[in-house]
Structure 1
Amino acid sequence: MAPILVTGGAGFIGSNLADRLAADGHTVRIYDSLSRAGTERNLDWLQSRHGERIDFIHADVRDHARLGAAATGVQAVFHLAAQVAVTTSMTDPAEDFAINIGGTFALLEALRMARAQTPLIFASTNKVYGDLGDLDFELADQAYVPVDPQVRDHGIGEGRPLDFHTPYGVSKGAADQYVLDYARSFGVPTCVLRMSCIYGQRQMGTEDQGWVAHFLIRALEGKPITLYGDGYQVRDILDVSDAVEAYIQAWRRIDRVAGRAFNLGGGPANAVSLRQLLEHMGDLVGHDVAVEWSDWRAGDQRYFVADTRAAEDALGLGAKLPWQEGVARLARWLAAERRLNLPIEPELAGPLARMAS
């Protein structure tokens, strides 16, 4: 069979997706610059598990000729390569533009010119909806809760107006719209997944991106965590295994979902504030997590929970892993990676947290 191209395939989500595809018997063409910390380890892990099924191309998406060549003759493209940090986009918006808009446009053009009807699934972001500054909230149990009952019960749907904030939001939002329009204008079968906070194994988190893993790493090492804002911000976190399933199903059902965008996150059942999450992490590591405070960051949303009903219906997605159990699994993996001990068996952390609440 023809290979499947995964740009950013040595990154966190990309390596998990590549692992799933290779385990299903596909040859996976990974296109990655290896510029992020941990990507070389992820690539080594994939090659040790799958051998010749991993076809690696060490290149940048700004190299449009190599990117177009990599997309030639593949049966599907998962486009995950990106500049992923809001903070980086604020200091170097030109690089952000070149990677997120320029790289995506070059890839779309390569597929359009090939006229092979190759599906492309694009990793977008909830940042396309802006800071949601028009929503009203109340505080309850250390978390912002929307006053609007529809948003409170179901989250933010795809009908929410787009409102790009920060260079990162603009670049990802523009790429998001290019991907959708190439389905509409040129018939390229594309689908967009606007992701909330994805976490899980192989996430080498930093303060700027991959914050769930970053929080756990700091907690495991006994170091303070900086919270920007007041810590009542709410996110719907989703385990990477559930995210990978959504990407696979978007590809398998591309005939039915081409030209559509879906919000992908943990939904209301997996909504948690930063303060609530740190309490759970404190239970996992056996001590309170030290916190330092700083001002709000540009474009930060006080609340984002995805309304996942459209994705669940169109993609046939099942139940999601509860966040307490997923975070415990990540804690165990990070502790093993860093040769640290966990005082509580992660398998017990979810039930203990539910009993305590």
Structure 2
Amino acid sequence: MKILVTGGAGFIGSHVVDKLIQQQCRVVVVDNLSSGLREHVNTAAKLIEMDIGSPELLALFEQEKFDYVIHQAAQTTVAQSIDRPDRDCQVNIAGSVNLLEACRKTAVRRIVFASTAAAYGNAADIPIPESAPKQPTSFYGLSKWTVEQYLALYRQIFGLEYIVLRCANVYGERQGNSGEGGVISIFSKKLHERRPVTIFGDGGQSRDFIYVGDVAAANCLALTAKTCNAAFNISTGTETSLNTLVKLLEQAAGIKLKKYFAQPREGDIYRSSLDNTAAGKYLSWQPQMPLSQGLGRTYQALKQPGLNQREGREW
């Protein structure tokens, strides 16, 4: 089967591409390289430098005739969405609708969409089930939730199959310093450079940290899952506070980290953990990487930049 991965030069997307190549799929990557890196794209995949909002996207679909699409391209930073909600909307909503138009006009079988825990906002019940109310506290969370609604209507009106993966805080090799899971990358870099970190809030705020290799596996399973037209949480189902995260990173590196505390940031969620029961039942997916081990791999990749490259290692 022939698969398009948008944002395939990025952090999560490049791992998804690697997994698909391992499964002998034909893969095309569309990425504008605004944050993704060309060297992270598997050499067995075809890279096309293009924005998902480009009017030329439809012509590409007509030429390549994709069977499936995995949509990872996005503006992924809560803070940037608060600062520039217009830009967040342009990329995450308008860009996604342009992609959906290309999908439905060229008879793509299914699209797998990377959504987010931020769609839930500050939920009352932890871990959060997929049925929980959607009350995003940032424009990033709102834009992702809005695209989910577009997917449901595209299915209803045009018959386009979809699966939504609401990912918790993704971390791992190749991650930059932005995005929802970027705190691990930021803290790891500060640790390596022996610099203090700033924790916004009291450090008791929690996140559900999921390893990027596990997320890539979920994307691949979603392509052919019998159950579709639904959303699934991709997570560990476990809360980890930022204070605990710092301790685990210190253990992984064998270094003590100096901490400063600052006022909480606008739009940040205090507690977050997702119930992943449905993904286990309908996608036959389970997280495999323990947080302590994943943090060790992430920190070693930061110390040895060559480990971040695709060549010579499978994640």
Aligned: 1:286 with 2:254: yes
Match of 1:222 in 2: 194
Aligned: 1:257 with 2:227: yes
The structure-2 alpha-carbon separation of the partners of 1:117 and 1:9, relative to structure 1 and needing over 3 Å to count, comes to: closer
Q: Cα offset for 1:205? A: 2.6
Separation in structure 1 between the aligned mates of residue 114 and residue 143 of structure 2, nearest angstrom: 12
Match of 1:27 in 2: 26
Report if aligned partners of 1:71, 1:77 keep a CA contact under 8 Å in 2: no
Which structure dedicates a bigger proportion of its chain to helix? 1
Superposition TM-score, scaled by structure 2 size = 0.91
Match of 2:155 in 1: 183
Match of 1:8 in 2: 7
Report if aligned partners of 1:71, 1:107 keep a CA contact under 8 Å in 2: no
Separation in structure 2 between the aligned mates of residue 221 and residue 130 of structure 1, nearest angstrom: 33
The structure-2 alpha-carbon separation of the partners of 1:338 and 1:54, relative to structure 1 and needing over 3 Å to count, comes to: closer
Separation in structure 2 between the aligned mates of residue 208 and residue 285 of structure 1, nearest angstrom: 22
Aligned: 1:55 with 2:25: no
Separation in structure 2 between the aligned mates of residue 74 and residue 131 of structure 1, nearest angstrom: 38
Could you tell me which of 285, 296, 299 is aligned with 1:317? 285
For the residue of structure 2 that corresponds to 1:168, the secondary structure is helix
Separation in structure 2 between the aligned mates of residue 106 and residue 10 of structure 1, nearest angstrom: 20
Separation in structure 2 between the aligned mates of residue 108 and residue 234 of structure 1, nearest angstrom: 34
Separation in structure 2 between the aligned mates of residue 186 and residue 157 of structure 1, nearest angstrom: 28
| 2:89 counterpart letter in structure 1 | F
Aligned: 1:39 with 2:61: no
* Aligned ranges 1:1-357 → 2 under 5 Å: 1=1, 3-36=2-35, 39-43=37-41, 46-47=42-43, 53-63=44-54, 65-72=55-62, 73-114=65-106, 116-132=107-123, 135=124, 151=125, 155-206=127-178, 210-253=182-225, 256-268=226-238, 271-337=239-305
Q: Cα offset for 1:284? A: 2.1
Q: Cα offset for 1:207? A: 7.8
Report if aligned partners of 2:66, 2:108 keep a CA contact under 8 Å in 1: no
Separation in structure 1 between the aligned mates of residue 67 and residue 166 of structure 2, nearest angstrom: 23
Match of 1:138 in 2: none
The structure-2 alpha-carbon separation of the partners of 1:199 and 1:207, relative to structure 1 and needing over 3 Å to count, comes to: closer
Q: Cα offset for 1:173? A: 1.2
Separation in structure 2 between the aligned mates of residue 320 and residue 207 of structure 1, nearest angstrom: 22
Number of equivalences:
305
For the residue of structure 2 that corresponds to 1:289, the secondary structure is coil
Report if aligned partners of 1:84, 1:209 keep a CA contact under 8 Å in 2: no
| 1:330 counterpart letter in structure 2 | T
Higher relative contact order (CA 8 A, sep 6+): 2
Q: Cα offset for 1:25? A: 1.6
For residues 179-202 of structure 1, give each alpha carbon's deviation from its aligned partner in whole angstroms, at most 9, with x where no partner exists: 222123321011101111011112
Match of 1:139 in 2: none
The structure-2 alpha-carbon separation of the partners of 1:208 and 1:183, relative to structure 1 and needing over 3 Å to count, comes to: closer
Q: Cα offset for 1:27? A: 2.2
Separation in structure 1 between the aligned mates of residue 132 and residue 76 of structure 2, nearest angstrom: 22
For the residue of structure 1 that corresponds to 2:295, the secondary structure is helix
For residues 108-143 of structure 1, give each alpha carbon's deviation from its aligned partner in whole angstroms, at most 9, with x where no partner exists: 1122222x24210000011111223xx3xxxxxxxx
> Please, which runs of 5 or more residues in structure 2 have no aligned partner?
308-315
The structure-2 alpha-carbon separation of the partners of 1:209 and 1:87, relative to structure 1 and needing over 3 Å to count, comes to: farther
| 1:125 counterpart letter in structure 2 | T
Q: Cα offset for 1:328? A: 1.0
> Please, which runs of 5 or more residues in structure 1 have no aligned partner?
48-52, 136-150, 340-357
Superposition TM-score, scaled by structure 1 size = 0.81
| 1:71 counterpart letter in structure 2 | F
Separation in structure 2 between the aligned mates of residue 209 and residue 129 of structure 1, nearest angstrom: 16
Separation in structure 2 between the aligned mates of residue 183 and residue 320 of structure 1, nearest angstrom: 32
| 2:119 counterpart letter in structure 1 | V
Separation in structure 2 between the aligned mates of residue 290 and residue 316 of structure 1, nearest angstrom: 41
For the residue of structure 2 that corresponds to 1:303, the secondary structure is coil
Match of 2:312 in 1: none
